[in-house]
């Protein structure tokens, strides 16, 4: 079962569950269950924007707003490499409860903000704002970042 084929199927079936029967071998029938998921950035990123995450992403799917980043859910290949890189613990898998809102939030802004692949300095109040609650209501900006 070629990786390229799996990737192409993934692109067309993001968010769904499916079963693939591979009959390419006479000796075996291979059943593969795959749940397509993504990682997302939540409001813990807001007003911090450490950007450690962008350097490890193999598919460059982080997008930059004025004071947070988002992940494009259709581009993320679910490798999980970015999750432990975030000092603010803002990157979560969408398998956790009540993540639909954050998947759509990430999708919405990743389609209008520029891609970011290079780490830059965190926002000036990053350490002070880390762990604060209610950041979406208090600080979120829809404005794009500079990207880069």
Binding to ligand SF4 (CB under 6 A): which residues in 45-104? 56-59, 61, 71, 76-82
Q: Which does 56 bind (CB under 5 to 8 A by kind): ligand F3S, ligand SF4, none?
A: ligand SF4
Q: What are phi and psi of 102, to 5 degrees?
A: -75, -30
Q: Are 70 and 110 in contact (CB under 8 A)?
A: yes
Distance CA 44, CA 38 (A): 17
Beta bridge partners of 31: 21
Calculate the dihedral angle through the C-alpha atoms of 111, 115, 120, 126, rounding to the nearest 10 degrees. 10
- C-alpha 51: how far from chain center: 13
41 binds ligand SF4 (CB under 6 A): no
Residue 46 or 61: the one with the smaller Cβ distance to ligand SF4 is 61
Least separation, in Å, of the C-beta of 23 and ligand SF4?
30
Only one residue has tokens 């490499």, namely: 81
Residue 88 or 103: the one with the smaller Cβ distance to ligand F3S is 88
Q: Which does 76 bind (CB under 5 to 8 A by kind): ligand F3S, ligand SF4, none?
A: ligand SF4
Residues that bind ligand SF4 (CB under 6 A): 39, 56-59, 61, 71, 76-82
């Amino acid at each position: 079962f070629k990786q390229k084929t799996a990737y192409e199927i993934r692109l067309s079936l993001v968010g769904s569950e499916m079963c693939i029967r591979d009959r390419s071998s006479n000796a075996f029938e291979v059943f593969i269950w795959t749940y397509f998921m993504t990682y997302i950035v939540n409001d813990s990123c807001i007003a911090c924007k450490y950007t450690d995450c962008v350097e490890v992403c193999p598919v460059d799917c982080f997008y930059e707003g004025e004071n947070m980043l988002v992940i494009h859910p259709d581009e993320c290949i679910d490798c999980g490499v970015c999750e432990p890189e975030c000092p603010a613990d803002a990157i979560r898998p969408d398998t956790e409860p009540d993540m639909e809102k954050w998947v759509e939030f990430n999708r919405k802004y990743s389609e209008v903000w520029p891609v970011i692949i290079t780490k830059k300095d965190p926002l000036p109040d990053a350490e002070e704002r880390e762990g604060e609650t209610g950041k979406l209501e208090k600080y979120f900006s829809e404005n794009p970042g500079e990207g880069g």
